[in-house]
Amino acid sequence: MKAGVRPLETFPVRIGTQRLRVAIGGAPDAERTLLLFNGIGASVETLAPFIARFSHTRVVTFDAPGVGESPAPWLPYRPRDIARLGADLLTHLGVQRAHVFGVSWGGAAAQEFAINHPRRCSTLTLAATCAGIVMVPGRLNVLLKMLSPRRYVDPAYLMRIGGDLYGGELRFETELLQLHAQSMRSPSWHGYFYQLLATAGWTSWPWLKRVQAPALVMMGSDDPIVPPVNGRIIAAGLPRATLETVDCGHLFVLTRAAQTARRVERFMDQHAAATA
């Protein structure tokens, strides 16, 4: 973990039959809560540098089933099931209403949360994500690398392919990529396959018009995985969307952690009165 980054408070929670490892960071005593859905294969540690940058917000996240210390379930699931886990986790923590953030794969769950739990969603922020099967895909050689969790298992492999995979500053900032590699925990192959399967054939597009929460859509200008045009597709379907492009790659929440966290907090502040 990067020096100076406050460690996350982690603890197990059982939601129905699923055991989750939950993490809380940012400003743990803050009145408002941000529920964060992480990317594919990524445990809570990978976003610790980003979470630590929130100065006025308690950030709640969890290892998806099959990732980190959350065991894989017996049966496959869909993004709406991850959204429901998030909603049930908020209930467990005594939080009725939260701001919602989804990055990459977690953007699907965040969209499902806003669609299916509208009264519990104050604002919606989506980072480096898409609306499912209507997406404009990234480069084939990049997407093929996403089919395997090898980058989480083999740090040397990540250092070799990370720049081309994630784009932006990670093309030349090897120190940033090394810090990311050090924070990773290997997902199970079973769990990673279930995450891939969860979004197969999935789309949010027909239901985005139901989302009444203010939405901030942030895309990296040099994203080999989710090209920035996908942000325009999502924003076009959301009734109250603001679209912004970050001059970086797929992992701008890490390479631009402080700037991204400040932007999200300003967005939440802007809509505080309307969502109170």
The two tokens of residue 111 are: 């969209």
Residue-wise over 112-135: b if at least 16 C-beta within 10 A, else e?
Answer: bbbbbbeebbbbbbbbbbbbbeeb
Instruction: Tell me the CB-side half-sphere exposure of residue 55, using CA atoms within 13 A.
Output: 8
Dist CA 107 CA 38 (whole Å): 8
Helix (H, G, I), strand (E, B) or coil at 30: coil
Estimate the crossing angle of helix 106-116 against helix 79-92, to 10 degrees: 70
Instruction: Give CA–CA dist 158/54, Å, rounded.
Output: 28
Tokens 């020096």 found at: 3
CA 221 – CA 231 distance, rounded (Å): 10
Other beta carbons within 10 Å of 74: 6
Beta bridge partners of 21: 12
Q: Catalytic residue among 43, 70, 104, 204, which? A: 104
Contact 10, 28 (CB under 8 A): no
- Residue 210: CB partners within 8 Å, gap ≥ 6? 115, 118
Residues in the chain: 276
Eight-class DSSP state of 6: P
**Is 104 a known active-site residue?**
yes
Q: SS3 of 268, please? A: helix
Question: Where in the sequence numbering do the catalytic residues fall?
Answer: 104
